[in-house]
Every structure is written in C-alpha cells, then in structure tokens.
Structure 1
Amino acid sequence: MDGSPARLLEMLSDRFAAFEAIATSTVKLARFVPEDELAMEPGVAEAVLEFGEDLREAAASAAEWARSDAPVAT
C-alpha cells in the first residue's frame, strides 16, 4: 500500500462518503420530517457536506503537488 500523503487523503475522502450520504439524506428529509426524526441535525449535515468538499479539494491538490515532483519538505 502506498502511504503517501496524497493517497491517505484520497482514502479518507473515499471513507468519508458514508457520512456525506447520511448528511445529504438529512438535508433532503429536513424539509419533510421533524428534526428529532433526522439522522443528524441539519446544521451538522451542512457542515459535513462542506467538509467533504474541502477534503476532496485537499486530496486533489496533494495529488497534483505530488505529480509535479515538488521537493519534499524536511
């Protein structure tokens, strides 16, 4: 297994998809059901979705940086 930071970020992003699925369903259901019946609070769901976007952006940036043969920080 490649333990590079870019690969680790990619793996975290993939694993985070389950939380995003719950958050997405929460946001959609929030329009139709009482808040106490949701899987998570709507504000938390929105934060989860925003974090997912940031995580994917960081993974893509790290992968691009690694492909550019950038010098390794010491």
Structure 2
Amino acid sequence: MLAPAPRPLRLLEMLSDRFGLFEALAYSTIKLNRCTQADELAMDPLVAEAVLEFGDDLRNARAAADEWAETKGLVHP
C-alpha cells in the first residue's frame, strides 16, 4: 500500500527548506567573487543573483500559501 502524498503546503515547505542549500552556495559565491577568480566559484555570479531572487519569490509564495491556508481554516496560526 502506498503512503498518501504530502499535502501541497507541506510540499512547498519541503521545497523551501531544500532550497536553502542553493541559497548558501549563492551567498558564498557572491562573497567569494570579491576576492577570487570566477573559475574558482561554485556558480556563476549572475546565476547566484538569480538564485537569491528566486529564493525571495519562493518565500513570498510560501507566505501567501500559508496565509491562504489560515483563511480556509486548513492550518492554525
């Protein structure tokens, strides 16, 4: 018997948590870009900036989803 699929809000929470690794790489890339050569970085600096922007969008989406769920009585504040 298969386990039930996680709720959509839980999936979004898991995605947000897992995205933290990419944000850490992006922050370190931006910081190291000031003192090392581009070929030694974990990712391209422009990609790092895009990752951080996406992180902001992901947090905004999660906050909106949480707020929606609260208004529907699906979660408790």
TM-score, with length taken from structure 2: 0.83
Kindly indicate whether residue 37 of structure 2 is the aligned counterpart of residue 34 of structure 1.
yes
Q: Give the counterpart letter for 1:26 in structure 2.
A: T
TM-score, with length taken from structure 1: 0.86
- For structure 1, list consecutive stretches of 5 or more residues without a partner in the other structure: none
Paired positions, count? 70
2:54 is matched with which residue: 51, 55, 60? 51
Alignment-derived partner of residue 16 in structure 1: 19
- The SS at the match of 1:31 is coil
The structural deviation recorded for 1:2 is: 7.5
The structural deviation recorded for 1:4 is: 2.4
Give the Cα–Cα distance (whole angstroms) in 2 for the partners of residues 58 and 2 of structure 1.
21
Contact persistence 1:24–1:45 (CA under 8 A)? yes
Q: Against the structure 1 CA distance between its residues 66 and 2, is the aligned structure 2 distance closer, same or farther, given a 3 Å change threshold?
A: farther
Kindly indicate whether residue 72 of structure 2 is the aligned counterpart of residue 69 of structure 1.
yes
The structural deviation recorded for 1:53 is: 0.8
Percentage identity across paired residues of the two chains:
63
CA RMSD in angstroms, aligned pairs only = 1.6
Give the Cα–Cα distance (whole angstroms) in 2 for the partners of residues 60 and 16 of structure 1.
15
- For structure 2, list consecutive stretches of 5 or more residues without a partner in the other structure: none
